């Protein structure tokens, strides 16, 4: 017998003790945002632009009421949005930049459906 096989017969499997698989009756699945979970940058922008669903906006509102870090991010994003709107007529964008920006896809691309292989042919 090799190392780690003492006392085991072939084909035997380790099973957890019965007490380790009993459910915890006091456990309650957390709802809403966890205290350590913050709004990601895309959610902040969507929140400021009123693009979240009603349910997501309600969750964000509840989180923002408790999280000063995220509230600061929303305030900064709203300020940046406001500044861009007020100076919109004062900006001139070169035609070359405008052409490059127009080439950016407006829809997300699902790469999972593309059956590319990796370098091992899988």
* Confidence class for position 48, pLDDT limits 50, 70, 90: very high
More confident residue, 115 or 14: 14
Residue 16: DSSP 8-state: -
Average pLDDT (40-57) is 90
Predicted confidence (pLDDT) at residue 1 exceeds the cutoff of 50? no
Work out the mean pLDDT of the chain and round it to a whole number: 75
| Cα atoms in the Cβ-side hemisphere of radius 13 Å centred on 2 | 1
Predicted confidence (pLDDT) at residue 8 exceeds the cutoff of 80? no
The predicted model scores a pTM of 0.47
Type and span of the H or E element at 98: helix 95-102
pLDDT tens digits, 85-107: 887 666 778 889 888 888 887 76
Type and span of the H or E element at 61: helix 54-66
* Confidence class for position 47, pLDDT limits 50, 70, 90: very high
């Amino acid at each position: 017998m090799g190392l780690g096989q003492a006392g085991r017969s072939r084909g035997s499997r380790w099973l957890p003790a019965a007490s380790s698989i009993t459910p915890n009756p006091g456990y309650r699945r957390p709802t809403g945002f966890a205290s350590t979970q913050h709004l990601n940058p895309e959610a902040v922008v969507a929140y400021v632009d009123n693009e979240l669903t009603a349910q997501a906006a309600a969750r964000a509102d509840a989180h923002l009421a408790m999280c000063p870090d995220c509230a600061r991010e929303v305030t900064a994003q709203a300020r940046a949005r406001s500044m861009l709107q007020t100076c919109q007529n004062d900006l001139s964008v070169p035609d070359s930049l405008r052409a490059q920006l127009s080439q950016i896809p407006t829809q997300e691309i699902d790469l999972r459906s593309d059956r590319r292989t990796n370098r091992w042919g899988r």
